[in-house]
């Protein structure tokens, strides 16, 4: 395939590479401050659960330089969700801009706008708040206790059952699971309990608001979802959508946490109230505590299999802690089922039951993997336990059961993102090749089960398999515009959001390929609600597949128009023409350049702007697949766990930009590695998150990361643009189970509580 392609499948230089590597001012807070800009500082709750009896802001307002103090007393009271999802959002409307009740340590109490940041911070500290402290709910079990305090006691709650602290509930039932389990030859029963983690983009959330000369509100923000920001801000502040323009410049990573409308409302309202520009960049501590996290979960998997290891029943029971607000509570929860069960369609009986509970703890949100991370961890450990019990090789057990091309799963239909799903048949699956290649690279046959000793260290290998989706079928909409310029270059404008993933490059490559252009002649502008067409934004692994399809369609349309003009010039039928190397070439070898075609149509004959617009909403969400292998060593003296090597063989369809695709997998693997080994927002007994800086909340550095080999396996997805599927999330699901399984291979203990710190491993080794 690739040898016929000119741009797609090649490692082109990233379109924003030059600006980034020369340190250009391309991030939100890099732009020079406009005259009179205000700076915001936040005051957040020190209590996990309290009612604000009264607030005294007079000392804050009296400080010279303070322009505005925002509290629940002077701000809109509409309910909304900060989850940046499509309309209507499947998350409960359980938040207010400011609420007289605070529900976690770090919840918003007030915001102060002042001439400079130091003054704003000082003023925020001068606000006197009288709290009526309430009993807090500090764990899943506490939330479910019969007489538990109610986190959301507002009478108009639209959560699943707020009176029982249930934010959301999801089920899918196929066949009779209990009967199948009872009849099975072997049953395994595994419960894992995952921790709070934070996305930790190196750029914290940043947003600026100003009024443009026409008095419209311009929001420049580090968001993954510019169009959702516009809609949600309009709703919350009750201003018309057409009075708002949202622009996303370069952003310093997101991983889901910037799919949340967390701070735009504050800068927007301040600017609307004062007429002055306003900036807010949250601190690292606020990013950790007050923004969003990965939902901690308790996941129980029961598997029933026959004597040959053919699965007969899977029961998946999930309790998710959504924290103080239900952002993404339903959809992440559903995803645990919908991204875990379909991998094993051999089990005729399958059941998923999930509940998301409110607690007075940090708020869960969208985080790369989106529930699949937690679910697949439990599932892949259970599969290894089953293999262990049956004495079957873990590879073989998976080979006997995993989803294949041409196959399907009833779960696709039963479970969607918070609603019914969409039936689909798998049109590409190179999982068998992924398993084969990965096993070879890690040396599976020679190393598995060997328990090789090296002093106090013992070695082991493990593996796991994974899938994700490519966008949300029949929901995610993306659109793209293309317009031809004098010199045959094109402007590609699209709503899709590049958060560092390289989507501007990848989408530009698709257009370039279709139009026979080098990438530098595709000028990509994205994520500006005034200038670019709609796109839901960057989440659910949708960009390459859904936005890419929109770009492909727009490019094909423009190509058709170009060929028509060329047909007139060369006097040949359109069907005899193709675009190649910036020219329209006829079957007989004669050609004309795109520049000539552009000049002709702009200035000479049959004058018009050649341009195209296309949208994409797709009926399927073809999963990418991944087989991951790890070699680990465990120090039996101390429990210290070292990952020595990671191998990941991936089926992402045709990689549009192989190096960027590898980079997505590598980044996701390391993010997952951090989650498996060290990352933990740990909550203290008073409900405060302990990890408030990178000293306490460790993320991997160069020295914590083992050699990683990513192999992109040859694959082609017939429904995807140029054969592509998604690639950016899947890798994060692998480290938890692959490391746990490798540690079992080395030591015989199962790790079910991440992070796998040395002390936890040591305790497990000692039978605790």
Partner 1 sequence: MPTIAHYHRPPDLDTVWGLLRDAEGSARLLAGGSDLVLRCPPEVDTLIDLSAAGLAGVSVRPDGSLAIGAMTTFSDLLVAAPVTDHLGGLLHDVLADFGSVLHRNQATVGGHVARARMSDLIPGLLAADAEVVVRTEDTSTRALADHLAAPPTTHVLTEVRLPVARGPAAGAFTRFSRSAFDHALLNVACVVHLDAGVVRTARVVVGETGVLGRRLRAAEAALTGRPLTEATIQAAAQAVVAELDPRQDALASADYRRHLAGVGTRRCLQRAAERLGEVA
Partner 2 sequence: MRIEFELDARTITVEIAPGETLMTLLRRIGAVSVKDGCSRGDCGSCAVRLDGRAVTSCLLFAAQADGRRVQTAAGLADATGGLHPLQRALVDAGGVQCGYCTPGVLMAAMDLLESDPDPGEQEVRTALAGNLCRCTGYVKIIEGVRDAAALLREAEHD
Q: Which residues bind partner 2 (CB under 8 A)?
A: 11, 13-14, 16-27, 29-30, 32, 199-204, 250-253, 255, 281, 283-284, 499-502, 659-660, 662-663, 666-671, 693-695, 699-703, 705, 707-708, 710
Number of residues that make up the chain: 768
Helix (H, G, I), strand (E, B) or coil at 395: helix
Q: Which residues of 249-281 are buried (b: 16+ CB within 10 A; e: fewer)?
A: bbbbbbbbbbbbbbbbbbbbbbbeeeebbbbbb
Identity of the residue, 520 or 637, whose beta carbon is nearer to partner 1 in the bound complex: 637
- Under the binding rule (CB under 8 A), the answer on residue 125 touching partner 1 is no
- Under the binding rule (CB under 6 A), the answer on residue 674 touching ligand FES is no
Among 422, 483, 678, 709, binds partner 1 (CB under 8 A): 678
Q: Under a CB-based contact definition with an 8 Å cutoff, are residues 355 and 168 in contact? A: yes
Q: Is 768 exposed, middle or buried (0-12, 13-18, 19+ CB in 10 A)?
A: exposed
Quick check: bond before 755 cis, omega within 30? yes
- Under the binding rule (CB under 8 A), the answer on residue 31 touching partner 1 is no
- Under the binding rule (CB under 8 A), the answer on residue 701 touching partner 1 is yes
Terminal CA-CA length for the chain? 54
Residues 311-330 that bind partner 1 (CB under 8 A): none
Among 346, 440, 491, 757, binds partner 1 (CB under 8 A): 757
- Under the binding rule (CB under 8 A), the answer on residue 756 touching partner 1 is no
Q: Which does 25 bind (CB under 5 to 8 A by kind): partner 1, ligand FES, partner 2, none?
A: partner 2
Q: Which does 514 bind (CB under 5 to 8 A by kind): partner 2, ligand FES, partner 1, none?
A: none
- Closest by Cα among 481, 483, 479, 482 to 609: 483
Identity of the residue, 495 or 691, whose beta carbon is nearer to partner 1 in the bound complex: 691
Q: Under a CB-based contact definition with an 8 Å cutoff, are residues 649 and 715 in contact? A: no
Identity of the residue, 216 or 763, whose beta carbon is nearer to partner 1 in the bound complex: 763
Distance CA 291, CA 294 (A): 11
Q: Under a CB-based contact definition with an 8 Å cutoff, are residues 245 and 216 in contact? A: yes
In DSSP terms, 464 is beta-bridged to 628
Identity of the residue, 30 or 520, whose beta carbon is nearer to partner 2 in the bound complex: 30
Identity of the residue, 31 or 202, whose beta carbon is nearer to ligand FES in the bound complex: 202
- Report the nearest approach of partner 1 to the CB of residue 674 (Å): 9
H-helix segments, 571-657: 594-599
- Residue 91 sits at φ, ψ, to 5 deg, of -95, 145
- Closest by Cα among 699, 697, 709, 701 to 644: 709
- Under the binding rule (CB under 6 A), the answer on residue 253 touching ligand FES is yes
- Report the nearest approach of ligand FES to the CB of residue 500 (Å): 5
In DSSP terms, 478 is beta-bridged to 535, 616
- Residue 522 sits at φ, ψ, to 5 deg, of -105, 110
- Under the binding rule (CB under 8 A), the answer on residue 124 touching partner 1 is no
Q: Which does 659 bind (CB under 5 to 8 A by kind): partner 2, ligand FES, partner 1, none?
A: partner 2
- Closest by Cα among 676, 658, 711, 756 to 442: 711
Identity of the residue, 30 or 135, whose beta carbon is nearer to partner 2 in the bound complex: 30
- Under the binding rule (CB under 8 A), the answer on residue 253 touching partner 1 is no
Q: Which does 23 bind (CB under 5 to 8 A by kind): partner 1, ligand FES, partner 2, none?
A: partner 2
Distance CA 365, CA 325 (A): 9
Distance CA 510, CA 652 (A): 16
- Under the binding rule (CB under 8 A), the answer on residue 700 touching partner 1 is yes
What are the angstrom distances between the C-alpha of 328 and each of 181, 331, 340, 644? 32, 5, 18, 35
- Closest by Cα among 346, 354, 385, 370 to 464: 385
Identity of the residue, 488 or 674, whose beta carbon is nearer to partner 2 in the bound complex: 674
Q: Quick one: which segment of 105-113, 164-172, 223-231, 754-762 binds partner 1 (CB under 8 A)?
A: 754-762
Q: Which does 502 bind (CB under 5 to 8 A by kind): partner 2, ligand FES, partner 1, none?
A: partner 2
Distance CA 521, CA 92 (A): 45
- Report the nearest approach of ligand FES to the CB of residue 253 (Å): 5
Identity of the residue, 85 or 505, whose beta carbon is nearer to ligand FES in the bound complex: 505
* DSSP class per residue in 433-488: HHHHHHHHHHTHHHHTT---EETTEEEEEEEEEEE--SS-TTT--EEEEEEE-TTS
- Under the binding rule (CB under 8 A), the answer on residue 682 touching partner 1 is yes
Q: Under a CB-based contact definition with an 8 Å cutoff, are residues 661 and 652 in contact? A: yes
Among 179, 202, 241, 310, binds ligand FES (CB under 6 A): 202
Q: Which does 14 bind (CB under 5 to 8 A by kind): ligand FES, partner 2, partner 1, none?
A: partner 2
Q: Quick one: which segment of 350-358, 397-405, 495-503, 676-684 binds partner 1 (CB under 8 A)?
A: 676-684
Identity of the residue, 404 or 690, whose beta carbon is nearer to partner 2 in the bound complex: 690
Identity of the residue, 279 or 359, whose beta carbon is nearer to ligand FES in the bound complex: 279
Distance CA 762, CA 768 (A): 9
Q: Is the dihedral of CA 157, 163, 166, 171 positive or negative?
A: negative
Residues 103-122 that bind partner 1 (CB under 8 A): 118
Identity of the residue, 249 or 500, whose beta carbon is nearer to ligand FES in the bound complex: 500
Residues 335-374 that bind ligand FES (CB under 6 A): none
- Report the nearest approach of ligand FES to the CB of residue 421 (Å): 33
The alpha carbons of the chain give a radius of gyration, in whole angstroms, of 27
Q: Which does 139 bind (CB under 5 to 8 A by kind): ligand FES, partner 1, partner 2, none?
A: none
Distance CA 296, CA 318 (A): 10
- Report the nearest approach of ligand FES to the CB of residue 202 (Å): 4
Q: Which does 21 bind (CB under 5 to 8 A by kind): ligand FES, partner 1, partner 2, none?
A: partner 2
Identity of the residue, 531 or 758, whose beta carbon is nearer to partner 1 in the bound complex: 758
- Under the binding rule (CB under 8 A), the answer on residue 191 touching partner 1 is no
- Under the binding rule (CB under 6 A), the answer on residue 500 touching ligand FES is yes
Identity of the residue, 213 or 455, whose beta carbon is nearer to partner 1 in the bound complex: 455
Count of residues that interact with partner 1, criterion CB under 8 A: 21
Q: Quick one: which segment of 226-234, 427-435, 573-581, 691-699 binds partner 1 (CB under 8 A)?
A: 691-699
Minimal CB distance residue for ligand FES: 202
- Under the binding rule (CB under 8 A), the answer on residue 698 touching partner 1 is yes
Identity of the residue, 56 or 684, whose beta carbon is nearer to partner 1 in the bound complex: 684
Identity of the residue, 314 or 668, whose beta carbon is nearer to partner 2 in the bound complex: 668
Distance CA 524, CA 329 (A): 34
Which run of H or of E encompasses 298? strand 297-305
- Report the nearest approach of partner 1 to the CB of residue 763 (Å): 8
Q: Under a CB-based contact definition with an 8 Å cutoff, are residues 237 and 265 in contact? A: yes
Greatest CA separation for the chain = 84
Q: Under a CB-based contact definition with an 8 Å cutoff, are residues 649 and 713 in contact? A: yes
Identity of the residue, 92 or 249, whose beta carbon is nearer to ligand FES in the bound complex: 249
Tokens 């930790």 sit at which residue?
200
* Interacting residues with ligand FES (CB under 6 A): 202, 253, 500
* Interacting residues with partner 1 (CB under 8 A): 118, 637-638, 640, 677-678, 682, 684, 690, 695-696, 698, 700-701, 703-704, 757-759, 762-763
């Amino acid at each position: 395939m690739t040898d016929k392609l000119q741009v797609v499948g090649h490692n082109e230089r990233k379109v924003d590479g030059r600006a980034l590597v020369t340190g250009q001012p391309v991030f939100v807070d890099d732009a020079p401050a406009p005259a009179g800009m205000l700076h915001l500082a936040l005051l957040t709750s020190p209590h996990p659960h309290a009612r604000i009896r009264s607030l005294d802001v007079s000392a804050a307002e009296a400080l010279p330089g303070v322009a505005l103090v925002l509290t629940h007393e002077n701000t809109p009271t509409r309910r909304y969700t900060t989850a940046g999802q499509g309309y209507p959002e499947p998350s409960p409307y359980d938040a207010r801009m400011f609420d007289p009740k605070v529900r976690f340590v770090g919840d918003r109490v007030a915001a102060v706008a002042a001439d400079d940041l130091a003054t704003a911070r000082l003023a925020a500290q001068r606000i006197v708040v009288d709290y009526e402290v309430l009993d807090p709910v500090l764990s899943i079990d506490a939330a479910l206790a019969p007489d538990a305090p109610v986190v959301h006691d507002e009478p108009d709650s639209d959560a699943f059952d707020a009176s029982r602290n249930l934010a959301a509930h999801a089920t899918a039932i196929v066949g009779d699971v209990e009967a199948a389990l009872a009849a099975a030859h072997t049953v395994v029963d595994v419960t894992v309990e995952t921790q709070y983690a934070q996305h930790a983009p190196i750029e914290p959330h940043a947003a600026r608001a100003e009024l443009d000369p026409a008095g419209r509100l311009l929001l420049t923000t580090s968001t993954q979802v510019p169009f959702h920001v516009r809609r949600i801000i309009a709703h919350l502040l009750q201003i018309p959508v057409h009075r708002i323009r949202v622009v996303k410049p370069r952003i310093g990573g997101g991983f889901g946490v910037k799919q949340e409308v967390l701070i735009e409302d504050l800068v927007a309202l301040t600017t609307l109230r004062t007429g002055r520009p306003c900036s807010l960049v949250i601190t690292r501590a606020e990013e950790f505590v007050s923004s969003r996290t990965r939902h901690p979960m308790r996941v129980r998997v029961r598997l029933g299999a026959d004597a040959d290891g053919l699965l007969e029943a899977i029961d998946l029971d999930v309790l998710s802690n959504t924290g103080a607000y239900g952002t993404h509570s339903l959809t992440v929860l559903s995803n645990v089922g919908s991204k875990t069960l379909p991998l094993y369609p051999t089990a005729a009986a399958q059941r998923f039951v999930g509940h998301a509970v409110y607690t007075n703890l940090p708020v869960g949100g969208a985080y790369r993997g989106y529930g699949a991370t937690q679910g697949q961890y439990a599932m892949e450990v259970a599969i290894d336990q089953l293999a262990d019990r049956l004495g079957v090789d873990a590879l073989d057990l998976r080979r006997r059961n995993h989803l294949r091309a041409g196959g399907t799963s009833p779960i696709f239909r039963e479970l969607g993102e918070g609603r019914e799903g969409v039936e689909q048949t798998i049109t590409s699956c190179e999982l068998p090749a992924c398993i084969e290649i990965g096993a070879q690279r890690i040396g599976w046959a020679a190393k598995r089960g060997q328990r090789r000793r090296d002093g106090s260290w013992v070695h082991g290998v493990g593996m796991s398999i994974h899938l994700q989706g490519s966008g949300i079928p029949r929901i995610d909409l993306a659109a793209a515009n293309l317009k031809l310029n004098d010199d045959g270059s094109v402007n590609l404008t699209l709503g899709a959001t590049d958060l560092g993933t390289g989507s501007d490059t990848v989408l530009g490559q698709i257009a370039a390929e279709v139009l026979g252009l080098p990438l530098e002649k595709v000028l990509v502008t994205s994520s500006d609600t005034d200038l670019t067409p709609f796109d839901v934004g960057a989440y659910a692994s949708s960009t390459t597949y859904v936005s890419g399809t929109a770009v492909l369609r727009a490019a094909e349309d423009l190509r058709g128009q170009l060929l028509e003009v060329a047909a007139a010039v060369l006097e040949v039928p359109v069907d005899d023409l193709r675009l190649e190397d910036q020219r329209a070439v006829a079957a007989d070898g004669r050609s004309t350049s795109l520049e000539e075609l552009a000049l002709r149509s702009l200035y000479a004959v049959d004058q018009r702007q050649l341009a195209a617009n296309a949208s994409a909403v797709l009926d399927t969400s073809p999963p990418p697949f991944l087989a991951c292998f790890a070699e680990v060593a465990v120090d039996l003296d101390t429990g210290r766990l070292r990952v020595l090597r990671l191998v990941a063989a991936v089926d992402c369809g045709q990689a549009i930009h192989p190096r960027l695709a590898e980079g997505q997998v590598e980044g996701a693997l390391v993010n997952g590695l951090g989650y498996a080994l060290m990352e933990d927002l740990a909550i203290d007994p008073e409900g405060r998150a302990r990890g408030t800086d990178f000293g306490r909340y460790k993320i991997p550095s160069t020295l914590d990361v083992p050699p990683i080999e990513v192999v992109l396996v040859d694959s082609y997805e017939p429904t995807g643009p140029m054969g592509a599927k998604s690639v950016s999330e899947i890798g994060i699901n692998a480290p938890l189970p692959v490391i746990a399984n490798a540690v079992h291979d080395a030591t015989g203990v199962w790790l079910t509580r991440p992070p796998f710190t040395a002390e936890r491993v040591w305790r497990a080794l000692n039978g605790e």
